[in-house]
Structure 1
Amino acid sequence: MVNILCVGDVVGSIGCEFLRQRLPALKKLKAIDLCIVNGENSADGNGITHSSAAHLLDSGADVITTGNHSFRRKESFSMYDSWETLLRPANYPAAAPGRGFCIVDLGRVQVGVVNLMGTMYLDSLESPFEKLDQLLRSPDMPKICVIDFHAEATGEKRALGFYADGRATALFGTHTHVPTADQCVLPKGTGYISDAGMTGVIDSVLGVKPEIIINRYVTKMPARFELAKGPCRMDCVIFTADEATGLCTGVERLSLT
């Protein structure tokens, strides 16, 4: 069996620090073989920087996935081309920096990691369904394959989950920063959860100070986001994969404080 830990969107430097406090012990306790962390908001003010990405990797992440804030920081452009385990959504145009798929060699087994982004209420990109078909047909795709689907609409996430069922090990959603309680193994053997959640401040609106977001809704005026401070939580999910079949045998959702 292979234990794969998927961590929800890490928000800002405070989220990065909390991840460093909790991740190493969790990996040891749960005998984690591979850790995937969504880091598109890991820099203060969103996006990802060299320092925030390095912090995640040094804290125990093996692969960093991203989403609609992939290219928020210009300094990150070159990173996507040079860091093999830093992914941007695969359904971005080929002209965009980086890649949306990588293979991690664990020694006894290889694991493919795919990063895709939804098109409902987000940027107009290539269909994630068509892109997933293309990637799964690749002769390089290992038997064990995990997908981070960074999407807004729950319906789109569940649809892609069933579309991948039996063809991928697991699909976990990111982007909304709110963990869902629908973790399961789908009928044909693919592990699924609509959203893994967030790693950041508990008393916040998606990691931001609540009063800023409330005022924005009340006044309809733009506002500069400031990250909240206080106790944090790390939302994550563990998928257990069968090495022989590549299918999922169990899903466990966790929220660590």
Structure 2
Amino acid sequence: MRILFIGDVVGSVGREALRKRLPGLKGKHRPDFIVVNGENAAHGRGITRPIVTSFFEWGIHGITMGNHTWDQREIYEFIEDEPRLIRPANFPDNNPGAGWALLKAGGKEMAIISLQGRTFLPPSDCPFRKVDEILERLENRRIPILVDFHAEATSEKIAMGWYLDGRVSAIVGTHTHVQSHDERVLPDGTAYVTDVGMTGPLNGVLGMEKEAVLNKFLSGMPARFVVDEGKWQLNGVLIETDENTRLAKSIQLIRMDEDRTIIE
């Protein structure tokens, strides 16, 4: 099975890059499933119903979220009705929505799990214990399992990779918006990368206009961050799993921008 995961989509530039490049990626890599992190898709913060609808119309099968899950308040109105849109599973249990989902397409099935780290991010339940609970519920299903670990600290992400090695098909890191080049299949068969990178503005700072970010660093004063416009970048990974073991055979980086393709 082939799984295409696209990193954090940021604002209208990210959405347009995804819309334009997804047909080519589908044609070249023939993924069975496409999963996107959409927590920055609406003006850099959260997601809206029209964006969710568009993503699914473009052929995306599942959307993971992160620390900006609740920034667009309208999500409260529809997340319960859309099981393919998942917020971090280790948010408090009384939060609306679910933290994992089963996806079905073309006669195949896979599971996606969303988790959020606790280092340098708002308080949440333990992601390690929470993923244990979910995997217990999935232990009788012989299907590929993809985990999106939305976390700041590289140490926390690497630790989760080792914790889940051999237990899931892949664990992909999101949140830092910078693609790391440490992709590998761990010894017991789990594909891993510390951060997939972002899909959005190429020339800002993590997707935001660089002038405001520079001013904050130089002055120490509060600044209003706005999603940058202009040229785009798209980052993701392609994971191939073994049909028998459901573990990973390979993980390949995808990295491109408006001017060039570095890895595709």
Q: Mark yes or no: TM-score above 0.5.
A: yes
Provide the secondary structure at the position in 1 that maps to 2:147: strand
Contact 2:62 2:85 in 1 (8 A): yes
2:260 aligns to what? none
Q: Which moved more, 1:152-161 or 1:51-60?
A: 51-60
Q: How big is the shift at 1:149?
A: 0.4
Aligned residue type for 1:87: I
1:226 aligns to what? 226
- Cα shift readout 1:6-64 (whole Å, capped 9, x = no counterpart): 11100001110110000121012101110110000000141111122222222222100
Q: Determine if the alignment matches structure 1 residue 99 to structure 2 residue 88.
A: no
2:193 aligns to what? 193
Summarize the Cα distance change of 1:141–1:205 in structure 2 as closer, same or farther, 3 Å threshold.
farther
Aligned residue type for 1:25: G
Q: How big is the shift at 1:178?
A: 0.3
Q: Which moved more, 1:88-97 or 1:73-82?
A: 73-82
Contact 1:115 1:149 in 2 (8 A): yes
TM-score (norm 1): 0.97
* Structure 1: distance between partners of 2:180 and 2:191: 14
1:59 aligns to what? 58
Aligned residue type for 1:135: I
Aligned residue type for 2:133: Q
Q: Which runs of 5+ in 2 are unaligned?
A: 258-264
Aligned residue type for 2:242: D
Q: How big is the shift at 1:107?
A: 4.3
Q: Which runs of 5+ in 1 are unaligned?
A: none
Summarize the Cα distance change of 1:133–1:245 in structure 2 as closer, same or farther, 3 Å threshold.
same
Aligned residue type for 1:19: L
- Cα shift readout 1:206-254 (whole Å, capped 9, x = no counterpart): 1111111010111121122111122111100011011210100001001
- Cα shift readout 1:124-169 (whole Å, capped 9, x = no counterpart): 1111100111111114654310000000000000100110000000
Provide the secondary structure at the position in 2 that maps to 1:143: coil
Aligned residue type for 1:9: D
* Structure 1: distance between partners of 2:53 and 2:31: 20
Contact 2:32 2:106 in 1 (8 A): no
Provide the secondary structure at the position in 1 that maps to 2:17: helix
1:69 aligns to what? 68
* Structure 1: distance between partners of 2:142 and 2:192: 19
Q: Which moved more, 1:132-141 or 1:208-217?
A: 132-141
* Structure 2: distance between partners of 1:45 and 1:193: 23
Q: Which moved more, 1:3-12 or 1:23-32?
A: 23-32
* Structure 1: distance between partners of 2:137 and 2:184: 26
* Structure 2: distance between partners of 1:142 and 1:94: 26
Report the aligned-residue RMSD: 1.2
Give the count of matched residue pairs: 256
1:174 aligns to what? 174
2:262 aligns to what? none
2:143 aligns to what? 143
Contact 1:38 1:66 in 2 (8 A): yes
